[in-house]
Amino acid sequence: MRHVLKVVASFVLLLTISSCSKEDIGVQTVLKGHVSDNIRGINIEGYKIELIKSWRSCENFMCGLNSEEVATTYTDENGDYSITFNYKLKEGERYTLSEQYYGSPYYPEYSNQIEIVSGETNTVDINAWKPVELRLNVAVLNNISPPLMIRNEIDDSNTAFLNTENIYEQDITKTYTLRSKPNTAIKIIFWYYTGDNPFRTLHQKTFVHHTSLDDVNILSYMIDCSTF
């Protein structure tokens, strides 16, 4: 009887140790995917993939997002990557990818929302395209309510893409550079405001353009601010 009790006790102890070990180490999980420039039809080798754990914290009445690196890898010659890690999160923590390029030289579009499930093989593919340069030769007249600003929008997003330019000179001829999405219908927008807050009036002029796959798209505009 005593022997049986010892066996049972040993079995329970092993289960407890195994459970604690699993909690400490985490659950083996896989994140994999493919990175390519779908617009140009090429796979991207050497694209950095950084898996991070992030959480929100507050201190001295200030709140922010903290993160730590979990694993880092790079795509192979076929544009493929794979990370195997032990999934272990506390309350309020999550896994995500840390963006490495911010539009230079790549701009990433993810095929799906990044939700990594414990113990499974999770797939996140990335369309990472290189922006083209919009080289704008602009002649500006009557810019009496500066700044005159220039931006471009893609996919009817109604938001500025990557960068804007501000012009303060009243009359100037100069070349300005924006970046945009290749082989895409875009809007190039010139705008300024008149009046004082909160009753400012927007003045805006929009040009439609379809970018090419060329690294540089050269365009010329005559902008008379008194006409819009």
Domains, the chain, ranges and CATH? Answer: 27-129 (2.60.40), 132-227 (2.60.40)
pLDDT at position 23: 55
**pLDDT on residue 114:** 87
For 20, the token pair is: 């604690």
Provide the edge-to-edge strand list for the sheet that holds 62-74.
62-74, 48-59, 93-98
Q: If DSSP states are collapsed to H, E and C, what string results for the chain?
A: CHHHHHHHHHHHHHHHHHHHHHHHHCEEEEEEEEEEECCCCEECCCCEEEEEEEEEEEECCEEEEEEEEEEEEECCCCCEEEEEEEECCCCCEEEEEECCCCCCCCEEEECCCCCCCCCCEEECCEEEECCEEEEEEEEEECCCCCCEEEEEEECCCCCCCCCCEEECCCCEEEEEEEEECCCCEEEEEEEEEECCCCCCEEEEEEEEEECCCCCEEEEEEEEEHHHC
pTM over the 0.75 mark: yes
Residue 5: predicted pLDDT? 37
Q: What tokens does 137 get? A: 């030769």
Of 228, 222, 206, 219, nearest to 171 by C-alpha is 222
pLDDT of residue 102: 84
Tens digits of pLDDT across the chain (228 residues)? 444 434 444 444 444 444 444 557 899 999 999 999 999 999 999 999 999 999 988 877 778 888 899 999 999 999 999 999 999 999 999 999 998 998 899 999 998 788 999 999 999 999 999 999 999 999 999 999 999 999 999 877 777 788 999 999 999 999 999 999 999 999 999 999 999 988 999 999 999 999 999 999 999 999 999 999
